[in-house]
């Protein structure tokens, strides 16, 4: 498999027609994902069979290292097909060996690779909340399981909420063992105009925030997080598809990261039974959402892009 960090490979890739370039990067992504996922299995099975903290720490460090190498490879081909610099602010002076909670708006599957590229080497490997069905995605679902990503059913009713919160709490307890970044797409799904209209969202560029997973992360290990990293992702040319990313046709990408202190009032409560605690988290998040909505508006105006 060619090394996408090679100048020759980068030049060759950038000169290919977009569909051929997309097929090439898709193949590279598929092969690298399969290879790294298979490499995760021995340490994953080891910690499953020997569930001691010392074994888990070693296995988790090894798997996170492998996952970071996979991200580095992805970043290399993304850089090759998108040679222009992205507009990124706010990632200086972050701790690559600390615990971080990341909150971001969500418009496309591309967001995940954008976040991985922006934060690679700045903070520990990103782990995020996933829908339960995604565990059955070939290869990558197995990798997510091995890396202890929390899977949530997001069903209706008190029992479903309890199960989701239990799985999230169990994952967060594991995250306490080694430096980890927990990321939560607070909207719970990707933004689309149809979803925005159906919700009657009070925000111009965002869906209504949901605090379920975020609340459990704060309740379980909030005091361990050094800060909340509030991320705003804007695509001035419109939200791209994953195929656009593979083909090198994403266009401009603007990312703003704001480090926020986590107030004591949103730590250590019971997000399932304590309404006052949920209300405090909701108030905190909604204040951020109002600022984020205004920030997106300002970025679009600076880029000369009409607001929705």
How do residues 18-74 score in pLDDT, each as one tens digit? 899 999 999 999 999 999 999 999 999 998 999 898 999 999 999 999 999 999 999
What burial class does residue 19 get, using C-beta atoms within 10 Å of its C-beta: 0-12 exposed, 13-18 middle, 19+ buried?
exposed
Is the Cα torsion angle 32, 35, 41, 42 positive or negative in sign? Answer: negative
Mean pLDDT over 110-137 rounds to 91
Question: What pLDDT score was predicted for residue 235?
Answer: 96
The full length of the chain comes to 308
**Closest to 61 in 3D by CA, of 44, 36, 37, 38:** 44
Would residue 136 be called left, alpha or beta, if left means φ above 0 and alpha means ψ between -120 and 50 degrees?
alpha
Q: What is the pTM of this model?
A: 0.89
Summary mean pLDDT of the chain: 89
Question: What pLDDT score was predicted for residue 270?
Answer: 85
Which helix (H) or strand (E) segment holds residue 233: the answer is: strand 228-234
Question: What pLDDT score was predicted for residue 1?
Answer: 45
Range with lowest mean pLDDT among 85-89, 104-108, 209-213: 209-213
- Is 246 in a helix, a strand, or coil? helix
3-state secondary structure 138-175: CCHHHHHHHCCCCEECCCCCHHHHHHHHHHHHHHHHHH
Q: Give pLDDT tens digits for 192-248.
A: 999 999 999 999 999 999 988 888 889 888 889 999 999 999 999 999 999 999 999
C-alpha 70, offset from chain centre:
15
DSSP label at residue 130: E
Mean pLDDT over 100-124 rounds to 96
pLDDT higher at 37 or 155: 37
The CA-atom distances, in angstroms, between 181 and each of 35, 84, 201, 218, 262 are 24, 27, 29, 13, 15
HSE, CB side, 13 Å, CA atoms: give it for residue 295. 21
Which of the four pLDDT bands, split at 50, 70 and 90, describes residue 175? confident
């Amino acid at each position: 498999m060619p090394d996408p960090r090679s100048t020759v490979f980068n030049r060759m890739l950038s000169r290919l027609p977009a569909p051929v370039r997309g097929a090439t990067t898709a193949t590279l992504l598929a092969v690298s994902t399969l290879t790294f996922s298979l490499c995760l299995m021995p340490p994953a099975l080891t910690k499953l069979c020997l569930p001691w903290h010392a074994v888990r720490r070693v296995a988790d460090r090894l798997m996170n290292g492998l996952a970071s190498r996979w991200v580095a490879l992805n970043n290399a081909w993304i850089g090759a097909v998108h040679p222009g610099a992205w507009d990124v602010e706010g990632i200086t002076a972050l701790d690559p060996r600390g615990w971080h909670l990341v909150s971001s708006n969500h418009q496309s599957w591309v967001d995940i690779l954008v976040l991985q590229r922006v934060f690679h080497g700045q903070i520990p490997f990103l782990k995020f909340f996933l829908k339960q069905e995604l565990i059955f995605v070939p290869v990558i679902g197995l990798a997510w399981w091995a890396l202890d990503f929390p899977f949530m059913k997001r069903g209706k009713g008190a029992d479903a909420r309890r199960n989701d919160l239990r799985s999230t709490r169990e994952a967060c307890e594991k995250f306490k063992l080694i430096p980890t970044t927990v990321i939560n797409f607070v909207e719970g799904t990707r933004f689309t105009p149809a979803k925005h209209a159906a919700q009657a969202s009070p925000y111009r560029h965002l869906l209504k925030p949901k605090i379920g997973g975020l609340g459990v992360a704060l309740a379980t290990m909030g005091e361990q997080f050094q800060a909340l990293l509030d991320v705003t992702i804007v695509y001035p040319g419109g939200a791209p598809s994953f195929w656009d990313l593979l083909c090198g046709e994403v266009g401009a990408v603007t990312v703003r990261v704001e480090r926020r202190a986590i107030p004591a009032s949103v730590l250590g409560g019971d997000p399932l039974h304590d309404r006052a605690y949920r209300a405090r988290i909701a108030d905190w998040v909604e204040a951020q959402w109002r600022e984020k909505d205004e920030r997106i508006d300002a970025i679009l105006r600076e880029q000369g892009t009409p607001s929705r």
